[in-house]
Amino acid sequence: MAMDLRARKRVLLVMYVAVFGVLTTSTKEATGQTIGPIFIFGDSTMDVGTNNRIENCSARADHPYYGIDFLGSQATGRFSNGLNTADTIARLLGGYDMSPLPYLALVEGGSNFTRGILNGANFASGGAGLAKGIGKQFYGQVVSMEEQVQQFATVQGNITALLGASKGNRLLRKSMYIFSIGSNDLMTYIFTRPMTPEQFVINLTDTYAIHLKNLYHMGARKFAIISIPPIGCCPIARSLSGGSCTDDTNSLARACHTSFESLLNNLSSTLKGFKYSLANTYNMTMSIISKPIGFKNVTSACCGDMTPQGLSDCKEGVHLCETRDDYLFWDAFHPTQKASELAANALVFSQDPDFVSPINFGSLRKA
């Protein structure tokens, strides 16, 4: 007899955990005195399968050639040839083999949900933005940052119900909250330009502040922020501008970083116990593009064909480079597994304030 839909979903979740070995953090470890779980928010740079579970969503990476270098060449929903930045950051911070499970996968787990969230969750959704409507006009249904925070509220409520208010709040204060979002807001602005660039940066920063404060009031204290990279140099941008980086897009990314830095400094001064680490992915990426040590190609996509409209989607049948580690970019927008690993190592361990400040992610984890 065929399994019903709920049973099939539970089997898939068990297979996901068994095959990929997502977590090694135990509940006892997570509720101890020295470490808390990791919660990840963001867009496609951090999505590890959220969008696979959303109906009417076209921003998906659950098909070849995505995942070609993942275990078993599985297309897991990561916008990468293998692991993404969320995976490597979680592993380097300790207690994880790769990113925590997607929140929606934990929901599918039913009775295992409460136990699962004690090991953290990944809320990131490809196409999402800080503003609620971002991505939906291009990709259909995605999980905005506002909705990701609402999902975390469910997690927070379940943790405090399970452990009690005192232990639950202590666990949440010891946890790490990682964010990589804003690029889709910037790209949408570039195409629509409904306001001045200065007002866009102000609005985006104010929206970020609302989300961070909401999480703070739910117990979050350790905020690791990955700012907007030079998306004007990604392959799709180059394909639409004759091969060069687009300066107006990149200047906005730099302005957003400066504004985020001021915001975080202010929050750390006004909110008791608020700690942060801010990654300057603009500087990190441009340092590789200007001096591509370890890469042979820092301009083109490993997966995709040129079309009159720019660069095609990465899918089975398009051009696929043979040596993925030679490329900085995997597809039109996203880094390769190798590039993600280099970025994660810098975020967790670098002492260079041009890359991450005022402390790195590793120091924030221990704070």
Catalytic residue ranges: 44, 331, 334
Distance CA(46)–CA(302), nearest Å, equals 19
Residue type for position 101: L
Measured distance CA(225)–CA(361) in Å, rounded: 9
DSSP state of 223: E
Asked if 297 and 322 count as a contact pair (C-beta separation under 8 A), the reply is no
Structure tokens of 72? 């078993």
Q: Do the Cβ atoms of 133 and 120 come closer than 8 Å? A: no
Measure the CA–CA gap between 187 and 137, rounded to whole angstroms: 13
Q: DSSP H helical segments within 42-174, as ranges?
A: 85-93, 103-108, 113-117, 136-139, 145-163, 165-174
Beta-strand ranges (E) seen in the chain are: 38-42, 121-122, 176-180, 222-226, 275-279, 297-301, 306-307, 310-311, 327-329, 356-357
Q: What is the DSSP letter of 271?
A: S
Strand 356-357 to 275-279 pairing: antiparallel
CA pair distance 150, 106, nearest whole angstrom = 15
Instruction: Give the 3-state secondary structure percentages of the chain, helix then strand then coil, rounded to 5.
Output: 50, 10, 40
CA–CA separation, 221 and 168 (whole Å): 13
Would you say 124 and 39 are in contact if contact means Cβ atoms under 8 Å apart? no
Q: DSSP 3-state assignment of 32?
A: coil
Query: CA-to-CA distance for 183 and 186, rounded, in angstroms?
Result: 5
Query: Could you say which DSSP state residue 53 is in?
Result: G
